[in-house]
Amino acid sequence: MSGPYLIRGAVALPESELRWRFSRSSGPGGQHVNTSDTQVELRFDLANTEALPEVWRERALERLANRLVDGVLVVRAAEHRSQWRNRETACVRMAALLAEATAPPPKRRKQARTPRGIVERRLREKKQRGQLKRGRSGRGWD
């Protein structure tokens, strides 16, 4: 593997808490597929990790609740023919998932008030338009 995979800031995926499982992959590769375990399954115990700050961990558990199995986040990779490249892909995907899940919530948008002058101008223009249309009617022209 090419080194630590940063989640955000100085926090990285801890190698000691990653669990790997390999199996035979489907897809391209011919007879090579039948003999090598290239599919990678990466597991990270999110519920019991000490690597993430407590606030991040709680946020990630809440946001990834539908992806977790007993508090464990699972990522599979089988796109490449080599196990090493699939390991790289799985790590990058795991780090991206955790980065997105631990990101702080966006600031709430403060709704702006429409200035009084703009409201008054709009009402004045509506009144003028109405008078113009009323003036087009043929009433009182005899």
DSSP lists the bridge partners of residue 75 as 42
Q: Kindly list the domain boundaries of the chain, sorted by start residue.
A: 6-102
Instruction: Please say whether the dihedral angle defined by the alpha carbons of residues 93, 94, 99 and 100, taken in this order, is positive or negative.
Output: positive
Per-residue pLDDT, 81:
79
Confidence class for position 6, pLDDT limits 50, 70, 90: confident
With a CB cutoff of 8 Å and minimum separation 6, the contacts of 75 are 41, 42, 44, 90, 93, 94, 97
What is the signed CA dihedral for 6, 96, 55, 61, rounded to 10 degrees?
A: -140
Confidence class for position 109, pLDDT limits 50, 70, 90: very high
What digits encode the pLDDT tens for the residues 61-107? 888 888 888 888 899 888 887 888 998 999 899 989 988 888 888 89
Per-residue pLDDT, 127:
97
Q: Please tell me the distance from the alpha carbon of residue 118 to that of residue 79, in angstroms, as a whole number.
A: 57
**CATH of region 6-102:** 3.30.160.20
Per-residue pLDDT, 28:
61
Per-residue pLDDT, 54:
87
Q: Please tell me the distance from the alpha carbon of residue 46 to that of residue 43, in angstroms, as a whole number.
A: 9
71 backbone dihedrals φ, ψ, rounded to 5°: 80, 5
SS3 6: strand
Q: Please tell me the distance from the alpha carbon of residue 88 to that of residue 2, in angstroms, as a whole number.
A: 8
What digits encode the pLDDT tens for the residues 16-73? 888 888 887 666 666 665 667 778 888 988 888 888 888 888 988 888 888 888 888 8
Q: Please tell me the distance from the alpha carbon of residue 113 to that of residue 53, in angstroms, as a whole number.
A: 39
